[in-house]
Structure 1
Amino acid sequence: MRDELLPELEAWHEEDEFEEIVDAIMEIPAEDRDYELTSHLGRALNNLERYEEAVEHFLSVAEEGQEDPLWHYRVGFAYYHLDQYEEALRAFETADQLEPGDEEIQEFLELSRSKLSEQSVEEATQSVAGAESESMIDFPDFWEDSDLAIEQYVMVPPTDELIDSVEEELVFRLPAFYIQMMKAHNGGIPRSNSFPILEPDSGSKEQIIISGILGIGRDKRRSLCGEAGSRFRIESGGYPEIGVVICDCPSDSEVVMLDYREFGNDGEPEVVHVDKENNYQITRLAPSFEAFIRGLVKE
């Protein structure tokens, strides 16, 4: 019966009658199917896009298929369409070793490697995005969207082109956390507006109060490149050329700045307070903008 069936299986395969192949072989008890019949069955299931079933049947004759490049190719084909690219690549690599130069094997080798590379990039991106998401604060509760904030600070989220333009004008690269924060809410007045100074110098402030955070743009008066932005505050107020004015304070004689002196544009700027009335005294507040934001408390 088996010898009579094999030519018929090949004929059905040529005519794309894959269901006929599956039905005919499945009528034979599993214990009576040999390697060749099981290979026909797996190939037909692959052609019917029933890849999980195909893998199951191929694995049932895995021992006999170890030296057969077709077995490795077919099981790799099923794994590939199940998006199991590591297993697919291993199968195609073995098939290539057993039958070097086969064009179809070579094609799926490259496809599997490409998919694995894409998968790695995607996983890395998701990992970074997840880490960034976890690192972000709860923005809806962070901002006080008063009329004053809307009028003086808040702008639409910046585009990448605008960010590049502002950085070029300021001559400083803005911190990644700050950019991420501004893409969610571009400038404004925070509810928590006080930064405690843990080790104040004798006679200095014990806390710094901020009245607003400058956003990325030029449209609002109190934005980085606005009429009362970073360059204006530095040039009109005589503040040191150490970086970027990032926050306003209630007094016009004080600002909070990003300080690039230690690491330059290649590193993370520190956050400092500059007191004009106290001979432009510089007080270090935080090692990064993120640390500064997380250190803010309600006054």
Structure 2
Amino acid sequence: MSLPFRKLALGGGGMKGILHIGALQELSKYQDLSFPDGIYGCSIGAIVATHIAFQIPVNHCVPALQKHLRFENIIQKLTFQILKDCLTSKGLFTMDAFESTVLAYFSDMGIDISNKTIGDAPQPLFIVASNLTKGVPTVFTKDVRILDALKCSCCIPGIFTPQELYGQHYVDGIVACPCISILQPDALILSLRGRDHVRKDIDNLSPIDFVTYLHDISIRNSVDKIPKEYIVHLSYPNLHSHSDLDDFNAESILEYSAALMRGFLVSKSLFQERTEIGDSRGTNHLV
């Protein structure tokens, strides 16, 4: 393992996706955020991966994340008709609100992704979803519309109606691929760690709490069984998949995840190989 990393993979985890930003801000001190062998993303990680693939400065996205990517923006108000429809639609909500939210988010970044394909990104981009029709993970690339791929990758099962694309049905990439290292073992993996404790209050969980708890179990048990050489575990106290970021100090979250990335680099002795970008003196911020 050495700097610069050539391949990046960003895991899913809802609102915990802000942790990706802090970690990438830290990594950008030691290498350009250019990944010629590909940028892979799953769920919220796919949104951040798209951001990086279009070479948007990583520090520009935090205000837009806080403004747009909120559960109340992507989840409609629950009505009796929605409950009735979900019996046949396999999900409570459509992804119309999600689509509008993602378009607004990237618009704030200066990019209209409404008709862009994955191949339009300046860096090689790969978006991971779960193919329900075949029961396997799928990696979208090239001619697939970014918006379609993001909707498939972020389609939380039970919450959103499965997405149909090319005659097949898709849900959140985490279902078939809890950790992208299953597909790309040589990538630098940023994994959004779920709760480490077992919930004792399952009977009292809301539908969203229950689904996110299932995601946490899936991620934790999968990640714990694979080699950890390339995995950076990111977490923050009491920050969960559907947390309201307004309840947290965003700067504190970014600093916390930056420290986790820095600790990872130190643990791998990568600081010995690193020269600061644009600084001929090679100042080392890791020591």
Fold conserved between structures, TM > 0.5: no
Question: TM-score normalised to the size of structure 2?
Answer: 0.21
Structure having the higher Rg: 1
